[in-house]
Amino acid sequence: MAKIAIDLDDTLVLTVELLIKDILKTNKDSWFKGYHSLEDLNFKERDAFYHYIRQTLNKQEIKTFKPIPHSKKILYKLAKEHELYIITARSTDVKNHTHLWINEHFNNIFKEIIFCEYHKSDHFVETKGEICKKYGIDLIVDDNKEYIWDCHKHKIKTIVFDYKKQYPWAKDKYPKDIQIANDWQDVLKIIENTKF
């Protein structure tokens, strides 16, 4: 039995797609062009954006955030053989909403939901790699290359989740031991063929 961590946003739910729709609906001349444009923002703009995300996540109806296809079925299957955790870069500002969503769609699958408090005063409080080490996580599935590299540095097996090959923030030149999944069927195949 392995300990497997799963990221939440854009791994279990298409958060960025929903946020972009909301941003474009409310701010017609928005500077926001997509998640990858965060790299071009200064700290004050980034902080305002994260505040917007927290507000948006907290006001969304639980039902509008649908799980990515096949994630539910595959995670139920994996939970029979492995101990599953969520490790999310979300802050605790959206903790209640996050727990409601997980209970609605993935009830009794995850042992724990771990909030990184990742961005705080423009530095990391505790990285996903450090959290994985602390919890004894064997493998993580995440869409963000920054988090993937951090976990890889901490000797955690990694699967890059690049849904339908459409996440610019997931793309990079990875070594062979970092595997890439384009959907949840890929994730299952990789995990079934991984030696723990």
Per-residue pLDDT, 43? 61
Which DSSP category does 117 fall into? -
pTM of the model: 0.85
SS3 182: coil
Which domains, ranges and CATH numbers included, belong to the chain? 3-14+65-192 (3.40.50.1000), 16-64 (no CATH)
From the list 164, 67, 196, the residue with the least C-alpha distance to 180 is 164
pLDDT at 56: 65
Token pair listed for 19: 């946020």
pLDDT at 28: 53
Find all residues with CB under 8 Å of 97, minimum gap 6, and list them: 57, 58, 60, 62
DSSP code, position 68: P
pLDDT by 10s per residue, the chain, length 196? 999 999 998 999 988 777 666 666 666 555 555 555 555 656 666 666 666 666 666 665 655 678 999 999 999 999 999 999 999 988 777 888 889 889 999 999 999 999 987 555 555 678 899 999 999 999 999 999 999 999 999 999 999 999 999 888 899 999 999 999 999 999 999 999 999 8
The pLDDT of residue 126:
84
**pLDDT the model gives residue 53:** 66
Pairing of strands 178-181, 139-142: unpaired
